[in-house]
C-alpha cells in the first residue's frame, strides 16, 4: 500500500506544481474588485453615514427608554 500512497502523493504534488507554473506565466488582469473595490466600500460607508446621520438628527425620536414619569395611569372604567 505504501507505493500506491507515494504515487498518489506525487500525482497530487505534480498537479499543484503544474497549476502554480500555469498561473505564474499568465498575465494578471485586474478584476472589478481590484479596480473599484475601495471606491465601492468608501461610497457605501458614506451613504450609510449620511442616511443614519439624517435619521438620528432630523426625526423626532424620544431617546429616554424609561417610561417612569411620562406615563400616568388612567382611571379604571367598569
Model pTM? 0.43
Cell numbers 400616568: residue: 72
Instruction: Establish if 7 belongs to a structural domain.
Output: yes
User: What pLDDT shows up at residue 49?
Assistant: 96
Confidence of residue 52 (pLDDT cuts 50, 70, 90): very high
Residue 8 lies in a domain: yes
The total of structural domains in the chain comes to 1
Domain that includes residue 45, residue range: 1-58
Structural domain contains residue 10: yes
Q: Is the pLDDT of residue 44 over 60?
A: yes
Return the percentage of the chain with pLDDT > 70, whole number.
Answer: 63
Q: Where is pLDDT greater, at 22 or 51?
A: 51
CATH number of 29's domain: 4.10.51
Amino acid at each position: 500500500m505504501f507505493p500506491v500512497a507515494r504515487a498518489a502523493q506525487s500525482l497530487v504534488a505534480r498537479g499543484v506544481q503544474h497549476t502554480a507554473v500555469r498561473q505564474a506565466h499568465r498575465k494578471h488582469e485586474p478584476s472589478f474588485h481590484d479596480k473599484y473595490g475601495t471606491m465601492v466600500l468608501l461610497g457605501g460607508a458614506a451613504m450609510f453615514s449620511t442616511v443614519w446621520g439624517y435619521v438620528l438628527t432630523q426625526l423626532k425620536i424620544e431617546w429616554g427608554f424609561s417610561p417612569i414619569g411620562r406615563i400616568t395611569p388612567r382611571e379604571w372604567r367598569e
